[in-house]
Structure 1
């Protein structure tokens, strides 16, 4: 059956907006949104929000170089504004880091609702084969509730001890850590605690957290293609490692805003939503006065309380699901920023004041300015030239690389009119990445993303990674590429410096760029192979 655009808008609950909305969300953005989303679209003023406030937010985060990858703003369950900074896009998943914790918490909520466990169950009761020979009094007291509220009693985050122990049994490593404080009394941010919540689900249910959530949360909300990193034994990491799309983050927040209801059906109990988003312990983090600090407003069940009566799930480098009950709003953000607090400040400084009433008089000019901005977002390309006299000397030539810890034996660069194919041969074979000259070219690579990540855990079965790459000549002898691994938060720069028949190839991951530190990988050196 053929449905025209006007009929589709009406079926999507947007009939009142008619073709004006279709013009506002035009082109690929509209098509992708309608193809993958159950969330209706609206205009900011129709939901009582000024377009100018959202535009000010976008302009401000760009001016402050906060490196957002995506933004979605909802009010009353409708998307008012959405944008992706190219090469990021609506159809791409994105690494959530610790925003994953709020999803793991929800899995516990489903299990509690189903009577499979309670928040007062003792942790050692789930893992009798992994407990230490001597069980301390504090370890014996530790409950599911203490894992949820980051008050396990550990003096520091247990995660490094799990990952760096050299042992495959992370549960046993966690239970072996000293529990210095009485559980429930001392807050320390502890991703290992969330990992144990994931392990509990797998122990009790017989499914991973991802498998458990799929029919209960992901399918009802129309979340497709989610994946989750695992430990050495195939247990989802829980505290990090989930990947979903920006709109999926927004749907998750909307479910919580609607107190567990979705399309008129109860998904998760209201009692759990209330309990999970209430502060149970004084949180720590951030800087400055408590009243100005979104990390000191209290902590719930893997949710942070915020200023202005809001709460959020968040992840490293600026992955946000912000729920604002007073304003009936949800804001989803992905990014790679070194200043997470600054993003929240911009939300409070620009989007929050833009909320006025249930409906405002349309400001067509401001709506058009916002539309133009949101549909033309892009991360900046490196400044440089698309050509160099060096191309004729190096294009297609194979450079033998001296022995190195990366086990790279050969590289080559083959230039075309608008692209460059970079080839690298190591002990695992030959890998190719095509970079656009002063533009993005998307593709796949079988190069490992592990060196780029904060937490070195794999996605099961992932052998190829989506990538967008561009390159430019920053001077006559130096070609620099940016490789964005566009379903992660990260990128790296690859600099190829030529001197007669010699080459130097330097890698620098984005976390090193953010932290102004040296990349741990060696500079590759070599010469034209005879």
Structure 2
């Protein structure tokens, strides 16, 4: 494959894609997925398809919501590679000695790996995490550490955005830099992306944290970059990040991310969830995806050497992007 993405559009047939089927994508998106703002398809390291909607273009940044989690996963891998963090087996409470004095046995056992795989107990029903309560706190870290390890069994899957925020705090305590600053230096810059600016936040209302005011990378009241959402990227940025994984962590002549970390992060398991990546085995091929609310997605399909990046305007219950990929993009691949 290409060592970086060739952004000059090539004839789809030259990269084994059916131009006729790809040409029908635009109408399908307009009629069935009308909150999609941008879509980029990379095949064999070449730009196969790129379209924008709703007045957006290649330079527009979008709040990618929980896609942020998968970016944070990469940052943890880079921090381990560079020696800032010893391993995924390090205990979470060891990073916060000023917060925890008398942790119970279960809390003492929670590791970075548990946070990455969403297998930490919390006192709420699965998929009913009270993010509004988290965002009302003056200290998000203390709140999350207090509820971590309660009401459940360590090792059982329970999705947690607050847990991802702890990973951001661990990264900062290990490197001395916010996730935003660390990413700019060790991930975004090597991929040729623009620097994510320091977004000054004076308020923490819904629009500031989740809505139309989100810029750069949101942070909590104490300056920790939000671990579970809050990052803004262009559609091309998302494609670059996905291609880095597809290309085994190499960009140009640089190993940005260890190949072993990518394999470890995307290894199929019973939860269909790796290190902050969603995993899928279907119809004879394997995919892994970064998925964010509203219909944001980076889908990597190793067997087809393909990345699909989709940015979207937020809406409740958007149509599943996987259906678009499965029914309209994968069939355009020529075996």
Q: Give the equivalent residue in structure 1 for 2:183.
A: 213
Alignment of 1:74-473 (within 5 A): 74-117=42-85, 118-131=87-100, 133-156=101-124, 157=129, 159-164=131-136, 167-177=137-147, 179-183=150-154, 185-226=155-196, 227-282=216-271, 298-306=272-280, 307=282, 308-336=285-313, 337-340=315-318, 342-357=320-335
Q: Tell me how far 1:158 sits from its aligned partner.
A: 6.1
Q: Give the equivalent residue in structure 2 for 1:54.
A: 22
Q: Tell me how far 1:180 sits from its aligned partner.
A: 1.9
Report the Cα distance in structure 2 between the residues aligned to 1:281 and 1:143, rounded to whole angstroms: 19
Q: Tell me how far 1:135 sits from its aligned partner.
A: 1.5
Report the Cα distance in structure 2 between the residues aligned to 1:50 and 1:38, rounded to whole angstroms: 19
Partner of 1:171, secondary structure, is helix
Report the Cα distance in structure 1 between the residues aligned to 2:258 and 2:130, rounded to whole angstroms: 31
* Structure holding more strand per residue: 1
Report the Cα distance in structure 1 between the residues aligned to 2:307 and 2:123, rounded to whole angstroms: 34
Per-residue CA distance 1:316-336 (angstroms, 9 max, x = gap): 001111100000000010113
Q: How many residues align?
A: 303
Per-residue CA distance 1:476-530 (angstroms, 9 max, x = gap): xxxxxxxxxxxxxxxxxxxxxxxxxxxxxxxxxxxxxxxxxxxxxxxxxxxxxxx
* 1:42 pairs with 2:10: yes
Q: Tell me how far 1:161 sits from its aligned partner.
A: 3.5
Which structure's CA Rg is the greater one? 1
Partner of 2:190, secondary structure, is helix
Report the Cα distance in structure 2 between the residues aligned to 1:211 and 1:188, rounded to whole angstroms: 29
Report the Cα distance in structure 1 between the residues aligned to 2:56 and 2:143, rounded to whole angstroms: 38
Contact 2:295 2:320 in 1 (8 A): no
Report the Cα distance in structure 2 between the residues aligned to 1:252 and 1:127, rounded to whole angstroms: 30
Task: For structure 2, list consecutive stretches of 5 or more residues without a partner in the other structure.
Answer: 197-215
Per-residue CA distance 1:222-265 (angstroms, 9 max, x = gap): 11042200000111001100111110100000000001011132
Per-residue CA distance 1:169-204 (angstroms, 9 max, x = gap): 111111111522232x21111101110000001111
TM-score (norm 2): 0.86
Contact 1:123 1:143 in 2 (8 A): yes
Partner of 1:181, secondary structure, is coil
Partner of 1:162, secondary structure, is helix
Report the Cα distance in structure 2 between the residues aligned to 1:338 and 1:81, rounded to whole angstroms: 27
Partner of 1:323, secondary structure, is strand
Task: For structure 1, list consecutive stretches of 5 or more residues without a partner in the other structure.
Answer: 1-12, 14-36, 283-297, 358-530
Contact 1:313 1:321 in 2 (8 A): yes
Partner of 1:72, secondary structure, is strand
RCO comparison, higher one (Cα < 8 Å, 6+):
2
Report the Cα distance in structure 2 between the residues aligned to 1:159 and 1:85, rounded to whole angstroms: 30
Across the aligned residues of Structure 1 and Structure 2, the Cα RMSD in angstroms comes to 1.8
Q: Tell me how far 1:356 sits from its aligned partner.
A: 0.7
